Amino acid sequence: MGTDYFYARRQAAPKPGGPTWVRSEPHCSRAIGRISKLLVGQGHGFIRLRDNREVFFHRRDVADGTVFNELEIGNEVIFELLEDSISGARALRVMRRNER
């Protein structure tokens, strides 16, 4: 399965001759939230946004200079919020707010 398929969505009205696929690009924006869950042994956690939505992040999504094992529940963090219609929201380049 190639990456073209992973981020693709089918158009509402396919053209004659077969299905047509359109690449659906993920959208990133800057966001602030608080760490709500940390599963250090599993290497991931969740950040709660101000609208009470929870966003997943993995230890490899932590920004350079921030140590995953030093994060704590309740820390305020800044991150890039990746909105992807296929796999859902994900936090990238997570860092504590005071480490900027």
pLDDT tens-place string over residues 31-61: 999 999 999 999 999 999 999 999 999 999 9
Q: Report domain extents, the chain.
A: 26-99
* 19-25 long-range Cβ contacts below 8 angstroms, 24+ apart: 24/85, 24/86
pTM above 0.75, yes or no: no
Candidates 3.20.20.70, 2.40.50.140, 1.10.3720.10, 2.40.10.340; CATH matching 26-99: 2.40.50.140
Q: Nearest Cα to 56, choosing from 66, 67, 43? A: 43
pLDDT tens-place string over residues 71-92: 999 999 999 999 888 888 999 9
